[in-house]
Amino acid sequence: MALKKFKPTTSSQRFKIVSAFDDITTATPEKSLLAPVKNSGGRDNKGKMTMRYIGGGHKKQYRIIDFKREKDGVPATVKSIEYDPNRTARIALLFYADGEKRYIVAPKGLQVGKTLMSGPGSAPEVGNTLLLSEIPFGTIIHNIELRPGQGAKMARSAGSYAQLMSRDGKFAIIKLPSGETRMILQSCRATVGMVSNPDHNLEVSGKAGRTRWMGRRPRVNAVRMNPVDHPMGGGEGRSTGGHPRSRKGTPAKGYRTRSKKNLSDKYIVERKKK
């Protein structure tokens, strides 16, 4: 994945850094795997704004992604690597031997023409999906299930990966991208490799307009608001007016919001780094 810089013929191009898209092989998506996307503009069914800073943006269609990878024992050939406007990673179009087509989140290094497998007995190679009980220790993985058959829930964004550390009874010990170490049932599935497009976090939009194209409206700092709008609003100059907190009064910057009654606490071996 390469990045592209521009000769600044305009001010908006001076700091602009975007993906070169050199890994994408086609610009035409598979029509049978498209679905409509409804944009709410942050409004509910009464037309009232319930989420701020949402609206506008380019029209797009959803690509139906296979997060379960349950077609066991059926080889699939990578037909193309494509751009997905709904996620930061690239997606890959698979042609299965029985004629079915599916999209998956493309791992880094996946090439057109490669054959992928899923299910018990598959080789621990990039792009193959296996049970955690069959993956070797130290393997880099992504698209990890939390419950068997649920579909991938963790390590799905660009450049994300986790690592299989060890096994303990019926659980596998996984180190997640956040630094947290947790136990997951060995009967859950994961895909070998790192998610594609790892340079995504180095991209620079260059101008506010590109953010508007993505459907994000301008955000307002809390300290610039009036007292009626935010606990940190008002005052002379840039006075914060107390401890950092949200609009509803929840403390920020270090305050832990995770519930102390969370049932999944018993599966966490080591907390994520502060």
pLDDT at 1: 62
Which three-class secondary structure state does DSSP give residue 61? strand
Query: Which of 115, 186, 121 is CA-nearest to residue 148?
Result: 186
In a domain, 214, yes or no: no
Residues 245 and 197 in one domain: no
End-to-end CA distance of the chain: 30
pLDDT at 241: 67
Spans of the chain below 50 pLDDT: none
The total domain count for the chain is: 2
The boundaries of the domain holding residue 38 are 3-201
pLDDT at 258: 87
pLDDT at 274: 67
CATH number at residue 24: 2.40.50.140
pLDDT at 237: 84
Which residues are bridge partners to 3 per DSSP?
19
pLDDT at 273: 74
